[in-house]
Amino acid sequence: MRRKIIIGILGLAALVSCSVKEDRSDCPCWITVIADKAISLSAWYGNQRILDNHGGGLEDHTVPRGIVDLVASYGSFTVPEGEQMTELFAQLQHLNTNGETALTGIELQKQFATVYMDFKDEDDGRTGYDILIYGNYVGADIRTLAPVGGNFRCIPEEAPERGYMFRVPRQKDDSLSAVLSYNGNAVETIPVGELIRKAGFDWTSQSLGDVSILADLPAHTFTITIMEWEGPVTFEITI
């Protein structure tokens, strides 16, 4: 039996019951979203949020006719200063709800990149310096998935085999940097964002890949490996 769920937001006159004899152009659209229970769904109609972090899929849910922005997500959109980016997977769809029904599925896309950093000729690829990662973006916008500006700072964790690893959100500039310090004094700054850009990493990809940086500090040479979905591509950059 069809269930009808009316979203109670004042001003959405389209959400009214309709008979088959009436002009149905002002009737709501019934949408069905096929999604796993672990996925969170939010939706906007114009400037009004009509669905707020609904868990799992939807069946015969009523929304206004027009264009509905649907965001499916798993993970937190932003992080506070001091934490690396969460493993955020999300997808934005602009649903055409001008018909009586609309059906869509979810294909979550990777909204973060993991950066691996290995120091050449060091035991286990790890240095004796303290390392802090800095950047200008702290996550993704909950509606557009565009990068959200803010003070990003985190301490990388030890990678399982060698070196370090840390997660970063989508970027819009080259601000990412790794500052190496000893006894509280900075001794070296690695321009992580610049290296990634020069290697051809695409921050606008639907699903972000990962990056590996092999640092030869005495030679100021960095070997960058981009791990896209199609396979790794390696570049060597000297600065």
Q: Which helix (DSSP H) or strand (DSSP E) does residue 192 occupy?
A: helix 192-198
pLDDT at 229: 61
Residues of the chain where predicted confidence (pLDDT) is lower than 50? 1-16, 20, 231-233
Longest dimension (CA), the chain: 80
Task: Name the token pair of 114.
Answer: 């993991």
pLDDT at 228: 81
pLDDT at 4: 32
Q: Does domain 24-105 have CATH number 2.60.40?
A: yes
Which CATH code for domain 112-238?
Answer: 2.60.40
What lies within 8 Å, CB to CB, of 142 at 6+ separation is 42, 71, 73, 77
pLDDT at 56: 87
pLDDT at 132: 98
DSSP letter (8 states) at residue 25: G
pLDDT at 169: 98
pTM: 0.85
Determine the residue type at 130: D
| CATH topology match: 24-105 vs 112-238 | yes
pLDDT at 24: 58
Which pLDDT tens digit goes with each residue over 187-220? Answer: 999 999 999 999 999 999 999 999 999 999 999 9
pLDDT at 12: 37
DSSP letter (8 states) at residue 26: G
| CA dist list (Å): 7 to 14, 34, 42, 73, 102 | 11, 19, 13, 21, 17
Q: Where are the domains of the chain?
A: 24-105, 112-238
Determine the residue type at 143: R
Task: Name the token pair of 222.
Answer: 């960095």
Q: Are 55 and 46 in contact (CB under 8 A)?
A: no
φ/ψ (deg, to 5) at 191: -80, 80
